[in-house]
């Protein structure tokens, strides 16, 4: 791909803007040598104003989503995309969240511009597990693990029962729940079906990938080993 198009696609500006950046000598190699629009240079050797170029298409990153931000582009309030660099919101191909977390759910949220990868992660066939840590308004009854594992739990207004899910009780009102589907408000509705109410909900893992030490509200790009972890079962 031509350099002007490549850089414009990364959100640095229109092709006209990027052509002007070349002319102004702002686009260089790591030694500060000015590059020209028809040069052929590896992605990692391009600098803009001495800064490395943003990652190429095929990007996947994770965010530790805080409370009170929405997984939407249109919501008038704070949205998850506001937590990424503004340039990431105007990239081509478009960077999207991989599924959604509720406004009041925190934790691991992936983003990618790779449609095939996104589909591979969210497809029910792929059986990528998602682990949620929940605190509850009331004590667990004791039969939840069996019910969630049964594969027979039918949520209100749904036609298909939920696939089996694993509940690990950590305390009377504290549990980990591992699911392989991504139905609307699934975890809250599952506990709701047992007469309980989720007070706090955090996603702590997707497949074998965990949040690690990533602080709330921060994001980082995943490397290829971490991408493989997503498909490698539970943490
Ligand atoms: N289940 C929910 O209820 N909410 C989420 O955000 C994710 C899963």
Asked if the 130-206 domain carries CATH number 3.30.70.1560, the reply is yes
Strand duo 198-206 + 130-136: pairing: antiparallel
Contact 30, 45 (CB under 8 A): yes
Domain covering 62-124+216-223: architecture: 2-Layer Sandwich (3.30)
Same fold: 3-52 with 62-124+216-223: no
- Rounded Cα distance, 58 and 53, in Å: 14
Decide: 105 in ligand 1 pocket, CB within 6 A: yes
What per-residue confidence (pLDDT) applies to 125? 86
- Rounded Cα distance, 85 and 158, in Å: 38
What per-residue confidence (pLDDT) applies to 124? 84
pTM: 0.94
- Mutate which of 67, 186, 189 for ligand 1? The one with the most ligand atoms within 8 Å of its CB, which is 186
Distance 120 CA to ligand 1 centre (A): 19
Distance 100 CA to ligand 1 centre (A): 8
Fold of the domain built from segment(s) 3-52: 3.10.290
**Lookup: tokens for 90:** 């105007």
Regions of the chain with pLDDT less than 70:
235
Where are the chain's structural domains? 3-52, 62-124+216-223, 130-206
- Ligand 1 atom nearest 130 alpha carbon: 8
* Category of 24 on φ-ψ map: left (φ > 0), alpha (ψ -120 to 50) or beta: alpha
Place of tokens 């991989």: 98
3-state DSSP assignment of residue 148: helix
Decide: 187 in ligand 1 pocket, CB within 6 A: yes
What are the tens digits of pLDDT across the range 114-152?
999 999 999 988 899 999 999 999 999 999 999 999 999
- Rounded Cα distance, 119 and 203, in Å: 19
Q: Whose CA is nearest to atom 3 of ligand 1?
A: 185
């Amino acid at each position: 791909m031509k350099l002007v198009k490549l850089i414009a696609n990364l959100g640095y500006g229109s092709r006209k803007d990027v052509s002007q950046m070349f002319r102004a000598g702002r686009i260089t190699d790591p030694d500060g040598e000015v590059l020209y629009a028809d040069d052929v240079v590896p992605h990692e050797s391009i600098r803009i104003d001495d800064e490395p170029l943003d990652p190429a298409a095929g990007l996947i990153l994770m965010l530790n989503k805080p409370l009170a931000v929405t997984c939407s582009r249109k919501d008038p309030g704070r949205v998850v995309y506001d937590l990424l660099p503004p340039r990431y919101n105007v990239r081509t191909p478009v960077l999207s969240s991989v599924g959604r977390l509720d406004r009041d759910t925190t934790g691991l949220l992936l983003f990618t511009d790779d449609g095939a990868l996104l589909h591979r992660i969210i497809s029910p066939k792929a059986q990528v597990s998602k682990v949620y840590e929940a605190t509850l308004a009331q004590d667990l009854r004791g039969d939840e693990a069996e019910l969630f594992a049964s594969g027979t739990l039918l949520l209100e207004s749904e036609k298909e029962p939920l696939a089996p899910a694993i509940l690990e009780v950590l305390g009377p009102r504290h549990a980990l729940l591992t699911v392989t589907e991504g139905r609307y408000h699934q975890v809250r509705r599952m506990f709701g079906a047992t007469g309980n109410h989720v007070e706090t909900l955090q996603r702590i893992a997707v497949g074998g990938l965990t949040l690690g030490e990533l602080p709330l509200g921060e994001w980082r790009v995943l490397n290829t080993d971490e991408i493989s972890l997503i498909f490698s079962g539970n943490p």
